[in-house]
């Protein structure tokens, strides 16, 4: 494939400085998103998914966050080296993000209209100065696009006056109003009840399909990943441990962690995905040597305790970071 990727993350390393030490959270992750591609990112809570997305947008609080190595290229340009002005351009209509918690993402003291206008005005100012009336029109159509009734009235409402589902829709409208090329959707709807979450996800899927937006979708619902993505990355404790085209991954998950994730029966209340894997993710203050999954791995070998596996190709576009697949050990 010769086409330039839209996003390319190479060997990204990130730690958080905390009282009494440092948490090495991202342990050299790689990730690629091609133009128009929908990519899923899965892994238990605490694996570093949100940290990775915030690193891409350069919105991590520093301190405590510190990027200690690696590269992030968006359309060939190194995000980590960008000037504040270039970064604003990327955040204007390059990359936008939908956050896990829609309440925290909206500012309580401004109306929906004010917040939406700011996004639209900003992205429009990159091209031409949009007139006030055009901005209002764009805000109204952004709200109707996410199936919110009575958008004109909503423009004057404050976030607290809306239900959780409506706030999530407003966040989607704001994220898409700038017409980004890449959308980072971090567990959209997780805070909502299951039916509303379902509606929100369906809506989001239709919109990105229509606009051909590239997406990184983080979700605990594997059924959604299966339906809505082209490729999947699996993260464990700050490592990218498996990646493959979606159908391939679901038909034939290779990493013992991925296999555990797939066997896990999701709880009806939506909490936790890894009931199928005993134990829990390690303490980042003092992560295990070698493969970070080895203390929980049902197939652990002695090399896993000593060395960190790199990604080994097992099929076309399917890579697994596990010594079972290095060609020397028997899977």
Ligand X SMILES: Nc1ncnc2c1ncn2[C@@H]1O[C@H](COP(=O)(O)OP(=O)(O)O)[C@@H](O)[C@H]1O
Minimal distance, residue 50 CB to Mg ion, in Å: 3
CA distance readout (Å), 59 to 55, 80, 88, 239, 325: 6, 11, 11, 21, 36
Residue 23 interacts, among ligand X, Mg ion, none and using kind-specific CB cut-offs from 5 to 8 Å, with: ligand X
- Nearer Cβ to ligand X, position 45 or 103? 45
Q: DSSP string spanning 42-101?
A: E--TTSSHHHHHHHHHT---TTTEEEEEEEEEETTEEGGG--HHHHHHHHHHTEEEE-S-
Minimal distance, residue 238 CB to Mg ion, in Å: 13
Q: Cα(156)–Cα(151) distance, rounded to whole angstroms?
A: 9
- Nearer Cβ to ligand X, position 11 or 206? 11
- Nearer Cβ to ligand X, position 162 or 232? 232
- Nearer Cβ to ligand X, position 50 or 168? 50
Q: State which of positions 85-104 bind Mg ion (CB under 5 A).
A: none
Minimal distance, residue 10 CB to ligand X, in Å: 19
Minimal distance, residue 74 CB to Mg ion, in Å: 21
Minimal distance, residue 199 CB to Mg ion, in Å: 22
Minimal distance, residue 6 CB to Mg ion, in Å: 22
Decide if residue 221 touches Mg ion (CB under 5 A).
no
Q: Do β-strands 214-218 and 38-42 pair in parallel, antiparallel, or remain unpaired?
A: parallel
DSSP tag of 296? G
Residue 275 φ/ψ, nearest 5 degrees: -60, -20
> Apex CA 260: angle with CA 256 and CA 264, to 5°?
175
Residue 108 interacts, among ligand X, Mg ion, none and using kind-specific CB cut-offs from 5 to 8 Å, with: none
Provide the edge-to-edge strand list for the sheet that holds 38-42: 95-98, 182-186, 214-218, 38-42, 231-236, 239-245, 318-320, 312-315
- Nearer Cβ to ligand X, position 61 or 108? 61
Q: State which of positions 23-52 bind Mg ion (CB under 5 A).
A: 49-50
Provide the edge-to-edge strand list for the sheet that holds 7-18: 21-33, 7-18, 65-74, 77-78
Residue with tokens 């956050």: 99
Residue 159 interacts, among Mg ion, ligand X, none and using kind-specific CB cut-offs from 5 to 8 Å, with: none
Minimal distance, residue 55 CB to Mg ion, in Å: 13
CA dihedral (194, 199, 205, 208) positive or negative = negative
Q: State which of positions 50-89 bind Mg ion (CB under 5 A).
A: 50
Nearest residue to 254 (alpha-carbon basis) of 329, 315, 296, 310: 315
Residue 295 φ/ψ, nearest 5 degrees: -65, -20
Residue 18 interacts, among ligand X, Mg ion, none and using kind-specific CB cut-offs from 5 to 8 Å, with: ligand X
Note the Cα 176 to chain centre separation in Å: 15
Peptide bond between residue 156 and the one before it cis (omega within 30 degrees of 0)? no
Residues in contact with ligand X by CB under 6 A are 16, 18, 23, 25, 43, 45-51, 61, 64, 284
Residue 25 interacts, among ligand X, Mg ion, none and using kind-specific CB cut-offs from 5 to 8 Å, with: ligand X
Residue 223 interacts, among Mg ion, ligand X, none and using kind-specific CB cut-offs from 5 to 8 Å, with: none
Minimal distance, residue 289 CB to ligand X, in Å: 19
- Nearer Cβ to ligand X, position 51 or 258? 51
- Nearer Cβ to Mg ion, position 44 or 319? 44
Q: Cα(110)–Cα(285) distance, rounded to whole angstroms?
A: 39
Residue 15 interacts, among ligand X, Mg ion, none and using kind-specific CB cut-offs from 5 to 8 Å, with: none
- Nearer Cβ to Mg ion, position 50 or 243? 50
Give the interface with Mg ion as residue ranges (CB under 5 A).
49-50
């Amino acid at each position: 494939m010769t086409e330039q990727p839209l996003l390319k993350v190479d060997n990204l390393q990130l730690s958080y400085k905390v009282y009494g030490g440092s948490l090495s959270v991202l342990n050299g992750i790689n990730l690629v998103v091609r133009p128009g591609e929908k990519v899923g990112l899965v892994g238990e809570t605490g694996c570093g998914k949100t940290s990775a997305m915030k690193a891409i947008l350069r919105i991590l609080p520093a301190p405590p966050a510190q990027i200690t190595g690696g590269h992030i290229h968006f359309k060939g340009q190194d995000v980590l080296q960008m000037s504040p002005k270039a970064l604003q351009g990327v955040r204007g209509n390059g990359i936008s993000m939908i956050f896990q918690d829609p309440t925290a993402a909206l500012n309580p003291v401004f109306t929906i209209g004010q917040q939406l206008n700011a996004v639209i005005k900003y992205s429009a100012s990159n091209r031409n100065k949009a007139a006030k009336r055009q901005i209002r029109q764009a805000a109204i159509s952004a709200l109707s696009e996410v199936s919110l009734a009575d958008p004109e009235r909503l423009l004057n409402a404050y976030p607290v006056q809306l239900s959780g589902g409506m706030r999530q829709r407003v966040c989607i409208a704001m994220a898409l109003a700038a017409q980004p090329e890449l959308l980072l959707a971090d567990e959209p709807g997780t805070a909502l009840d299951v039916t509303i979450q379902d509606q929100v996800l369906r809506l989001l899927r239709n919109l990105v399909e229509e606009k051909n937006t590239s997406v990184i979708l983080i979700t605990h619902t594997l059924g959604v990943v299966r339906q809505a993505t082209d490729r999947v990355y699996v993260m464990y404790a700050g490592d990218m441990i498996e990646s493959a085209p979606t159908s391939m991954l679901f038909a034939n998950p290779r990493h013992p962690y991925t296999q555990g994730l797939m066997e896990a029966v999701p709880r009806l209340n939506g909490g936790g995905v890894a009931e199928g894997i005993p134990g829990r993710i390690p303490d980042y203050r003092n992560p295990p040597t070698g493969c970070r999954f080895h203390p929980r791995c049902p197939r652990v070998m002695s090399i896993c305790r000593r060395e960190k596996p790199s990604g080994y190709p097992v099929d076309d576009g399917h890579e697994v970071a596990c010594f079972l697949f290095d060609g020397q050990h028997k899977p």
